[in-house]
């Protein structure tokens, strides 16, 4: 019932928050520039930051893109539906506001039944950024969306907590050299295995950032957050002198830290579980009475790369 209503709202220029396997998205008809403009307004998002278009079947690409490179096709076959966004040369019929006037468009097919059904029922591609105010922690539950922007949108579809928990990996395969624009829920190592070539790291752009993942600060809590090594006892002592109420964000349980001051990302130290729990843990810590969050550094391989990327962007050292 809600799904019918949601599809109706989308078709009539409204905004619907919906679950995907990565994070909740805030969606509208991709061909309705007025509705897209509303998304920018609700999120307080700068216009230079283009949106991802979500599709539920490859046939929808016909209306959106002018060509599909062989490598892009290979990646679609291997990973769609899934946490992978691909860059395409776009058709001129797409409103420029979606793509910030670029001649490319970012597209993905989410791996979530509610998202896929919504797109299919609405019968149009859905433009959707993550459903959070620009720069703040992404939402991985319907409650996160409700708390942050609930009063500004038409409907929230509740699909429970997101399974992957961090945004899609963004790959540009429009040129022979494959580039990653944002670390995300699909490991680069897995992509490299399928494509049999290395992927170039373009996640840091010093000029005009084409992905907010490329901005220095993003996904950030309001509270101060600092990354630390759990065995750096000197540093911890210094912080404990300076702050009254520190909370620790730990990758796995650690007997050297009091349980009641810790958020544990994964009881068994799994990267997949950590990614799924990351944003929820940050939301929880940000609404706690802590005056500082100390987050454990983890090795930057596989999903650890995306997790650390989010944490580095969440890091602010106010008052230090």
Interaction site with ligand TXA (CB under 6 A): 20, 22-23, 25, 49-52, 85, 87, 99, 102, 104-106, 108, 110, 128-130, 167-168, 170, 181-182, 210-213
The answer to whether 160 and 140 have CB atoms below 8 angstroms apart is no
Question: In the bound complex, what is the minimum distance in angstroms from residue 244's beta carbon to ligand TXA?
Answer: 34
Taking the least distance from each CB to Mg ion, the nearer of 264 and 281 is 281
Question: What secondary structure, in 3-state letters, does the chain show?
Answer: CHHHHHHHHHHCCCCEEECCCCCCEEEEECCCHHHHHHHHHHHCCCCCCCCEEECCCHHHHHHCEEECCHHHHHHHHHHCCCCEEEEEEECCCCCHHHHCCCCEEEEECCCCHHHHHHHHHHCCCEECCECCCCCECCCCCHHHHHHHHHHHCCEECCCCCCCCCCCCEEEECCCCCCEEEECCCCCHHHHHHHHCCCCEECCCCCCCCCCHHHCCCCCECCCCEEEECCCCHHHHHHHHHHCCCEEEEECCCCCCCCHHHEEECCCCCCHHHHHHHHHHHHHHHHCCCCCEEEEECCCCCCHHHHHHHHHHHHCECCCC
Taking the least distance from each CB to ligand TXA, the nearer of 66 and 233 is 66
Which among 44-52, 125-133, 249-257, 296-304 is the span making contact with Mg ion, rule CB under 5 A?
Answer: 125-133
Taking the least distance from each CB to ligand TXA, the nearer of 206 and 289 is 206
Question: In the bound complex, what is the minimum distance in angstroms from residue 307's beta carbon to Mg ion?
Answer: 16
Taking the least distance from each CB to ligand TXA, the nearer of 67 and 319 is 67
Question: In the bound complex, what is the minimum distance in angstroms from residue 278's beta carbon to ligand TXA?
Answer: 13
Question: In the bound complex, what is the minimum distance in angstroms from residue 167's beta carbon to Mg ion?
Answer: 6
Query: Rounded to whole angstroms, what are the CA distances from 151 to 10, 143, 156?
Result: 17, 12, 10
Binding flag, residue 130, Mg ion (CB under 5 A)? yes
From the list ligand TXA, Mg ion, none, partner contacted by residue 50 (C-beta under 5 to 8 A by kind): ligand TXA
Which residue, judged by CB position, is nearest to Mg ion in the bound state? Answer: 130
Question: In the bound complex, what is the minimum distance in angstroms from residue 150's beta carbon to ligand TXA?
Answer: 17
From the list Mg ion, ligand TXA, none, partner contacted by residue 169 (C-beta under 5 to 8 A by kind): none
Total residues at interface with Mg ion (CB under 5 A) = 1
From the list Mg ion, ligand TXA, none, partner contacted by residue 181 (C-beta under 5 to 8 A by kind): ligand TXA
Question: In the bound complex, what is the minimum distance in angstroms from residue 73's beta carbon to Mg ion?
Answer: 27
From the list ligand TXA, Mg ion, none, partner contacted by residue 72 (C-beta under 5 to 8 A by kind): none
Residues that bind Mg ion (CB under 5 A): 130
């Amino acid at each position: 019932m809600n799904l019918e209503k949601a599809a109706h709202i989308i078709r009539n220029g409204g905004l619907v928050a919906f679950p995907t396997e990565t994070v909740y998205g805030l969606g509208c008809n991709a061909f309705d520039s007025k509705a897209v403009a509303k998304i920018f307004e609700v999120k307080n998002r700068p216009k230079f930051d283009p949106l991802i278009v979500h599709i539920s079947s490859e046939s929808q690409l016909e209306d959106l893109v002018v060509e599909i490179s062989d490598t892009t096709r290979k990646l679609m076959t291997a990973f769609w539906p899934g946490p992978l966004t691909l860059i395409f040369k776009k058709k001129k019929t797409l409103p420029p506001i979606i793509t910030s006037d670029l001649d490319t468009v970012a597209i993905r097919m989410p791996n979530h039944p509610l998202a896929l059904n919504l797109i299919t029922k609405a019968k149009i591609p859905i433009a959707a950024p993550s459903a959070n105010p620009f720069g703040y922690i992404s939402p991985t539950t319907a409650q996160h969306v409700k708390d942050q922007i609930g009063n500004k949108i038409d409907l929230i579809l509740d699909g429970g907590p997101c399974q992957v928990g961090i945004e899609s990996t963004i790959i540009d395969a429009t040129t022979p050299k494959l580039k990653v624009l944002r670390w995300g829920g699909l490991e680069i190592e897995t992509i490299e295995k399928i494509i049999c070539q290395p992927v170039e790291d373009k996640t840091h752009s010093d000029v005009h950032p084409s992905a907010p993942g490329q901005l220095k600060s993003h996904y950030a809590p309001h509270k101060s957050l600092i990354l630390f090594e759990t065995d750096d006892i000197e540093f911890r002592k210094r912080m404990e002198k300076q702050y009254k109420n520190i909370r620790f964000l730990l990758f796995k349980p650690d007997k050297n830290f009091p349980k009641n001051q810790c958020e544990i990302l994964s009881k068994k130290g799994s990267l997949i579980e950590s990614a799924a729990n990351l944003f929820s843990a940050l939301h929880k810590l940000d609404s706690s009475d802590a005056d500082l969050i100390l987050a454990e550094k983890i090795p930057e391989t596989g999903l650890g790369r995306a997790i650390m990327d989010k944490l580095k962007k969440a890091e602010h050292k106010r008052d230090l």
